Structure 1
C-alpha cells in the first residue's frame, strides 16, 4: 500500500518570514548575553522544543539582557568585515534567518516577523532572539541583531527583488475545490506518459478523493509562500559550462546507503530524514554500520519545527552542539510524530562537525561543486520544489520545467523556492541525459523502490540551489 505521507509534503520550516540576501547586506549591531552554558546541552533562549510559529516571534524577549556588542558589516559576497578587516563569513539560511561566523563567534537567528489578523509581516532589519557560540571557550548564549540602516516591514508575498521560484504545474483553472476522481488521475497520468518524457507516471490511489487545493498543498506549497517576480539582468549565467572532466560520468555511493527507506507518514520530516541518512552513509563509508535517528532531532531540536518542517542545515547545527550524544535509529526509533525529547543516556560515539552549504554559503551550490563534494566525502542533502506532476513519478529521469533564469540567460537568483529535502548519493547519464541519483522519504512503494533520478545541470525544480553537507567523526574510547 502506498503510504499516505506521499501526500504530506509540508517540509521546510514554516515561519511566516521572507527575507533575502540583499535585504540583509549592510551594517549590523550584534548584541550578546553573558554565556548561559558551557559545552554540550540544550540552550533554547526562550524557544519551544521543537520551535513553533506562534511562540517563536516572542521567545526570550522578556529575559534577554545585553552584556556586550559587536558591529559588523555583512557584504554581498558573504564576507564579515569589522573595523575594515575581514573577520569571517556569513550565510542566509534559506529566507528565514542568517548565520554569522566571525572572529571566534558563530551566531544564528531567524529574521523578525509579526503576525496579526491581517497577515504576517517580515522585519528584515531585525532578528528574533537567537543563539551564539564562542568557539574558543565553547561557551554558548543568546543573541540578537539590528541593522543600522533603515529598513521597512514587508508583508508576506511582497516583491523583494531578484528572487524566483519555479513554475508550478497546477490545475487552478479547473477549480480549486474540484475533487479528483480516479479517471482524473488516470487522464493526467496518460497525458504525462503520452508526452514521451524521460520518465513515467503512475496514478497512486491515495490521490483519489482529494481536492485541487489539497493537491497543491501536498505538492509542496508552503503555508507561508512568497510569490516573487524575477528582475531582468544582463549578466549571463554560465551554468552549462562547468568543467566536469576530472569527475567520472557515473558515480554512486548506493552500497553504503543500507536497505532502509523511511516513510514520513503524516510528519513533515524530510529535512531530518535526509540529513541523518546522509550522515549514516558517511559513517558506513568510514567502516561503521550505523543508522542514526531522525526522531531525536524531531523531538529535541529547538531550531526547527518538528513535524511542521525544518532545515537540514539547522539539524546539522544542532547535532554539532550535542558533542557526540547522537542516538541510533534502534535506540530512538522513528514515530512519524513529535514525541517527548529523550534525555541523553548513552556514551559519546559520533561527533558531527563542519556543517555547511556547499559552495560556502546558501545559493552558492552548483552542478560541479555538488559532484565534487559527493565524490570526495559522500552523499549530500539536496532541496527542491516538487511540481505537481512529481507526485505521480514512478521511474525514469524526472524533468518538469526549466527555470526562466536559465532559459533567459539571467544571473542565478539569490533565492529559489524549495520545499522538500532528499538524499543525493551520486549521478549518471542515460541516452545523453545527465541525472542525479536521489533517495526520497516516501517509502519503497514510491518511484524506483523509494529512489528517483532527476535531470542534472539544469537546476531542475531548483534542485541545485541549496545543497548541504556535514562531516561525522567516530569517537574512539581513550
Structure 2
C-alpha cells in the first residue's frame, strides 16, 4: 500500500512538473483511476504505440464557424425521457444503429460517423425497410469541399453534401452490401487484438468515382437528405432531435486519458489534447447521479465499452455539445 501511495505521489509530482509520462503506461492509467471514481481507465492500447499514431485518427477539422448555422429549436411539447437508447427505441433498426464501425488507419472519423448516423436515420425514417448502410468512402473521395479524406474533414459540410449531391450505399470492409463498401480493413491499435496492427498500415484516399464496386447502378444507389443541416444549441434540443429522428454527429476534443477509457461516465482528468474527433451520439442516461451521453466511437469493438463510451452531459465536456449536426433523410 505504501509503495502504491508513493508511486501515485511521484507520478502526480511529475505531471505537475510537466514531466512527460507515457499516457499508455500502467502508471498513467493508475493515476487516472486514483484521481476520480466516475470512470474506469484500463489497457486499450499497447504502450509502445507512438502518440503520433493516435493524432492521425483525429480527423475533424475546426468548424468554419461554430455559429455558422441557426440552432434548431424543437417544440417543448416533445417529452424528454430520463434515459434513451436509439437501439431499443427503434428495434427494427437495432442492427444498423448498433454497428460499431472501424475507421482503420485513416483519419476518416468525420466521414464514418456522419454516414453511420445517416444510415441510422434512413432506417428509422423508412420504418426499418432501408437497412443497407451509406458509403463513407463515397463521401470521403467525392466531397472535395468537406476536406481531404483520410487527412480530415468537416462534418457540417458532409451533411450538406448528402443533401445536395447525395451519397451512395456501401457497407463495411469486405462487405457485399451496397455500391461502395469501405475499402480499408479493420486494424488493431489494441492489446491482444484480432486484426493486423494499424501501425503497419497507411492508406491514401481513393479517387472519386461514379461507379459501384460491383454490378449495382450508381445513380440508383444514391441516397439524399432533405432540409437544411441542423445545429443544436441546447442540450434539450439535442435530446429531442435524437428521440425524434435518430442519432446525431458531434465533435469531441480528445485528450490522452480518453485513450484508456473502459467504463463509467468519462470526463477529462489528465493529459494533453491530441485533436478533434467525430463521434455519434445515440442516447443518454444517468449513472451514479451523473448525467451522460451514450456515444459510439469508430475504433472497433475492442476499444472502450464494446466500442461505446459514456461522457458527462450538460457541461459541454470536451466540447461535445458545441458542434452537433444532423439532417432529415429523404425516403
TM-score (norm 2): 0.70
Listed one character per residue, the Cα deviations across residues 292-319 of structure 1 (whole Å, up to 9, x for unaligned) are 1101111111112111001111111122
Of 334, 340, 353, 2:226 maps to 353
Larger Rg: 1
Structure 1 residue aligned with 2:34? 194
Corresponding residue number in structure 2 for 1:301: 143
Q: C-alpha deviations, 1:314-337, integer Å up to 9, x for none?
A: 1111222225x6223222111244
- Residue 199 of structure 1 deviates from its aligned partner by 0.8
1:381 to 243, 249, 269: 249
1:307 and 1:209, CA in 2 relative to 1: closer, same or farther beyond 3 A? Answer: closer
Structure 1 residue 428: deviation in Å? 0.5
Partner SS, residue 254 of structure 2? coil
Q: Within 5 A, what are the aligned runs for 1:12-411?
A: 173-175=18-20, 180=22, 185-210=25-50, 214=52, 217=55, 220=58, 246-255=79-88, 256-258=93-95, 259-285=98-124, 286=126, 287=128, 288-303=130-145, 304-323=147-166, 326-329=168-171, 330=177, 331-336=179-184, 337=203, 338-344=205-211, 345-346=217-218, 347=220, 350-359=223-232, 365-400=233-268
**Deviation per CA, 1:360-404, whole angstroms, max 9, x where unpaired?**
xxxxx22111111111111111111011100110111101169xx
Residue 439 of structure 1 pairs with residue 277 of structure 2: no
> Contact conserved, 2:60 with 2:251, CA < 8 A, in 1?
no
Aligned pair in 2 of structure 1 residues 210, 223: CA closer, same or farther (>3 Å)?
farther
**TM-score between the two structures when normalised by the length of structure 1:** 0.50
Say if 1:271 and 1:311, in contact at 8 Å, map to a contact too. Answer: yes
1:470 lines up with 2:327 in the alignment: yes
Mapped to 2, the partners of 1:300 and 1:269 lie a distance apart of 13
Shift of 1:440: 0.3
Change (3 A) 1:321 1:216: closer
CA distance in 1: counterparts of 2:228 and 2:17, whole angstroms: 40
* Mapped contact 1:261–1:441 kept (Cα < 8 A): yes
Partners of 1:186 and 1:245 lie apart in 2 by: 46
Contact 2:296 2:308 in 1 (8 A): yes
Going by fraction, where is strand more abundant, 1 or 2?
Answer: 1
Distance 1:348 1:252, change over 3 A: same
Q: Which structure dedicates a bigger proportion of its chain to helix?
A: 2
Does structure 2 retain, via aligned residues, the 8 Å contact 1:418–1:462? no
Structure scoring higher RCO (CA < 8 A, sep ≥ 6) equals: 2
The answer to whether the Cα contact below 8 Å between 2:58 and 2:276 also exists between their aligned partners in 1 is yes
Cα separation, 1, equivalents of 2:56 and 2:29: 17
Distance 1:335 1:460, change over 3 A: same
Question: CA separation of 1:266/1:321 partners in 2, compared to 1, >3 Å: closer, same or farther?
Answer: same
Distance 1:244 1:420, change over 3 A: farther
Matched residue count = 261
* Residues in 2 aligned to 1:197 and 1:219: alpha-carbon distance in whole angstroms: 28
Which residue is equivalent to 1:234? Answer: none
Unaligned runs of 5+ in 2: 1-14, 64-75, 172-176, 185-202, 212-216
- Paired with 2:137 and 2:83, the residues of 1 have a C-alpha distance of 33
Displacement after TM superposition at 1:246 (Å): 3.2
CA gap 1:257/1:291 in 2 versus in 1, 3 angstroms: farther
Equivalent-residue separation in structure 2 for 1:350 and 1:193 (angstroms): 45
RMSD: 3.1
- Helix, strand or coil at the partner of 1:206: coil
